[in-house]
């Protein structure tokens, strides 16, 4: 069977039936003993049927490659991912620069500080202490734990930084309610000649919102317009949130109305902005529009509209 024929079969496999046929063919032709083809098969099948893939993985006639292990860890839920990592270590395999980010992310999502710290130490001992991708993941993990001191230590010790490193550190400061530190870091980033991307700008706008710095917020807005940065729902929501929180309701509403895509957070922030600045009736009307648009309110949306209703009711009584 030629390499071209095998590639063609992979490309045409879209269902569990195709996978079963492909696997049967692999057994007949002994291709499943080929580490590269096994890895390729696991990568393909994991996106179609994880249960079937696990059966193939566990019953493989050869030890799957590190790529295959990484594929399985990435595909599985958080707890199962760590179980697989322990199995991976038991058979004596060594993690690579793609293994560590997978399990570090799991530790961060599960708030497993002890496990995360151990993985950090293991990554350094395994020779990945200067790997950019690994360090960015470690930084974000500590930021998720709220351990800003460790996140900054990782950032400061990085031999190489990219826009992800800078943006992650700024987001960490905003997450830990240290907006002034985020803005100071932005100044350092400019001195390092690193250009901000949309993720950086979302963090910066979050910092401006926290400290009500409308002047800097407007500068960031101007930079977005002049530099031609592509707008997306998170960036536009951060912009309108900054204007709304700073009391510039008309500008916030203008951005809101021009937005093509909106998410629940967009609607909630706009409703909160209207309620916070004495526009209770408009907030109630916007809440009705939100429901008509098919969005189901969450606890934050309900809090915003209840505040708007109470404010509107008090104003009505005062007027009466």
d(C-alpha 277, C-alpha 284), whole Å: 13
Q: Which residue is listed with tokens 């590639």?
A: 7
For the stretch 44-76, pLDDT in tens is 888 888 998 999 899 888 899 999 999 999 998
For the stretch 285-301, pLDDT in tens is 999 999 999 999 999 99
pLDDT value, residue 241:
96
Closest CA to 80 of 35, 50, 120: 50
Closest CA to 135 of 114, 112, 152: 152
For the stretch 163-178, pLDDT in tens is 999 999 999 999 999 9
For the stretch 5-44, pLDDT in tens is 666 777 777 788 888 888 888 788 777 688 888 888 888 8
d(C-alpha 138, C-alpha 7), whole Å: 36
Which contacts of 62-65 are long-range, i.e. CB under 8 A and separated by 24 or more positions? 62/33, 62/35, 62/38, 63/91, 63/93, 64/35, 64/38, 64/39, 65/35, 65/36, 65/38, 65/39
């Amino acid at each position: 069977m030629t390499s071209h024929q095998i590639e063609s079969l992979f490309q045409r496999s879209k269902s569990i039936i195709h996978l079963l046929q492909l696997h049967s063919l692999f057994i007949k032709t002994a291709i499943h003993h080929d580490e590269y083809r096994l890895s390729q098969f696991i990568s393909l099948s994991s996106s179609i049927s994880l249960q079937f893939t696990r059966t193939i993985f566990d019953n493989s006639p050869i030890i799957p490659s590190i790529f295959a292990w990484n594929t399985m860890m990435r595909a599985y839920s958080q707890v199962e991912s760590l179980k697989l990592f322990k199995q991976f270590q038991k058979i004596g395999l060594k993690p690579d620069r793609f293994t560590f980010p997978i399990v570090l992310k799991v530790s961060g999502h599960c708030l497993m500080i002890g496990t995360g710290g151990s993985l950090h130490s293991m990554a350094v001992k395994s020779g990945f202490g200067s790997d950019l991708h690994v360090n960015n993941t470690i930084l974000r993990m500590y930021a998720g734990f709220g351990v800003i001191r460790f996140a900054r230590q990782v950032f400061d010790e990085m031999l190489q930084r990219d826009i992800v490193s800078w943006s992650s550190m700024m987001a960490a400061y905003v997450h830990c309610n240290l907006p002034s530190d985020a803005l100071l870091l932005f100044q350092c980033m400019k001195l390092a000649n690193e250009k901000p991307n949309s993720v950086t700008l979302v963090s910066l706008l979050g910092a401006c919102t926290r400290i009500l710095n409308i002047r800097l917020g407007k500068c960031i807005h101007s930079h977005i317009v002049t530099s031609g940065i592509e707008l997306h729902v998170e960036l536009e929501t951060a912009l309108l949130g900054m204007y709304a929180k700073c009391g510039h309701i008309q500008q916030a509403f203008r951005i809101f109305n021009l937005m093509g895509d909106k998410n629940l957070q967009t609607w909630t922030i706009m409703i909160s902005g209207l309620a916070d600045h004495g526009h209770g009736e408009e907030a109630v009307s916007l809440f009705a529009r939100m429901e008509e648009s098919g969005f189901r309110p969450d606890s934050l949306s309900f809090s915003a509209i209840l505040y708007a209703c109470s404010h509107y009711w008090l104003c009505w009584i005062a007027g009466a």
